[in-house]
């Protein structure tokens, strides 16, 4: 399934709210957490990580993975935590509004009944 525009940043920020991790760990977390519905490819993930780092929402440093490989670990900054709260609030409001649309039992005014 394609990722909706504007959701990847939120997924990354939420993933990093658990603590620092590398890009592969984030991609695996998104895939696992969504039950395999969402798979983020490297061509989308790493540019997003660089964009969030440029905005100072995340920071990074080199470390060693559990497989003893060198990897860049990303972490939330104070500004990133603030942005995560704002984005979660916005998406919750949007999701609630969409749920009302999907669950609607009344037609729009002037709609022809078929």
Higher pLDDT, 107 or 71: 71
> Domains (ranges, CATH) in the chain?
7-102 (1.10.10.10)
- Looking at residue 114, what is its pLDDT? 66
Q: pLDDT digit string (tens) for 6-51?
A: 789 999 999 999 999 999 999 999 999 999 999 999 999 999 999 9
Q: DSSP states of 21-83 as a string? A: EEHHHHHHHHHHHTTTS----HHHHHHHHHHHHHTTSEEEEEEE-TTS-EEEEEEE-HHHHHH
Question: 73 forms bridges with which residues in the sheet?
Answer: 22, 61
Across the range 82-111, mean pLDDT stands at 93
Q: Taking 70 as the threshold, does the pLDDT of residue 108 lie above it? A: yes
Write phi, then psi, for 25 (nearest 5 degrees).
-65, -40
- Looking at residue 105, what is its pLDDT? 87
**Average pLDDT over all residues of the chain:** 92
């Amino acid at each position: 399934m394609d990722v909706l525009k504007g959701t990847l940043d939120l997924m990354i920020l939420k993933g990093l709210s658990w603590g620092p991790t590398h890009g592969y760990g984030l991609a695996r977390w998104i895939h696992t957490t969504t039950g395999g519905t969402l798979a983020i490819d490297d061509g989308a993930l790493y540019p997003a990580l660089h964009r969030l780092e440029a905005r100072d929402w995340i920071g990074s440093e080199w470390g060693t993975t559990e497989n003893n490989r060198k990897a860049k670990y990303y972490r939330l900054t104070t500004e990133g935590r603030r942005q995560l709260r704002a984005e979660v609030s916005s998406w919750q409001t949007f999701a609630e509004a969409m749920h009302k649309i999907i669950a609607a039992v009344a037609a729009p005014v002037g709609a022809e009944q078929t």
